[in-house]
Amino acid sequence: MLSVCSLFAGIGGIDLAFSQAGFDIVWANEKDAAACETYRRNFGEKQLVEKDIRKVKADDIPDFDVLAAGFPCQPFSIAGKQKGFGDKRGNLFFEITRIVDAKRPKVVFLENVANLVEHDNGRTFLVIFNSLAQFGYVVYYKVMYANEYGNLPHIRKRIYITAVHDSVSKGYSHPEPIALTVQSSDIIHRDVRQNEIYYYNGNDLFSYFAGKMFDKSAIYRPTDNEVRLTKNRMCPTLTANMGTYPDRVPIVWDDFGIRKLTLRECLDFQGFPQSFFFPNTISLDDAYKQIGNSVCVPVVRRIAERIGLLLG
């Protein structure tokens, strides 16, 4: 069985996708304690090392075929300050190349915000490209939407990088778009009353939201200046700041009032299986943050399947 080393594993979205594609996750690393709780709840204890990656020696990691990482995206996001490698989180990318240099896996898979390509007039991406190329990797990359490549009604745009080592004889090609057959109404059941923690009924924001939400069948994204209707009734991009600013969680008007998307709905919009749950030991804010920091599982699974064919 092909093996995977997972860096910046978060709650395990990438790990789940590769597992679904038939890979064995032999080692995973994450330093956020709350994310590690969620990871263990769904994957067990065996492969997860809760530690700052900068303190991990490459020799302590078992050999593997694929290195997979959704490395911190905030330094490159248009929603953040875009400090890039000037942000200490941006410099964590070089922890990936440190381990790639030592282990020389057959494939390196990376996921990040689409703005990575344009950040600092393309210089940031050129550093990433050249950092992999210097170790003998052919770098393939593509910006993909979840609604076009993952059959999810979620407007989430990300860059996916697959770097294949020269020792692999076959070339790689990214998945092609597929039809969107899942609708938001398959995920949001407005005739079902949710837990009261999600509702704004009686809250000061209820009247404000009610005055902006003219289409009760749509999903809205609250921002600093407006309540924005998302196109085609799809879910807007779920972001990590949902956990930092609770009123940034997308909202809907159901048969019982105005409310946030529930944690289960957010997981569904990211393509997580029904068997995936958050432990009751973490806060609601942490759970929202973890969802926003994760990936659209079906998109990554399709890429993992391509990598499996390449290495099989």
Residue in 5, 73, 235, 266 annotated catalytic: 73
Six-digit token pair at 4?
């995977």
Q: Where is 142: in which H helix or E strand? A: strand 137-145
Measured in whole angstroms, the distance separating CA 197 from the mean position of its chain's CA atoms is: 25
The CA distances from residue 43 to 39, 144, 284, 299, in Å, are 6, 27, 20, 20
CA angle 113, 114, 116 (to 5 degrees): 75
Instruction: State residue 307 phi and psi, 5-degree precision.
Output: -65, -40
* Residues ≥6 apart with Cβ < 8 Å to 227: 208, 209, 212, 213, 220, 221, 251
In Å, how far are 122, 149, 304 from 179, measured between CA atoms?
31, 8, 19
CB 261 within 8 A of CB 268: no
- The Cα 269–Cα 297 span in angstroms is 10
Residue of 226, 219, 292, 304 whose CA lies nearest to 259: 219
Output the six-digit token pair for 18: 């590769």
Cα 276 to chain centroid distance, Å, stands at: 15
- Residue 73 designated active-site: yes
DSSP secondary structure, 243-275, as one string: TTSGGGS-EEEETTEEEEPPHHHHHHHTT--TT
Contact 128, 84 (CB under 8 A): no
Tell me the catalytic residues: 73
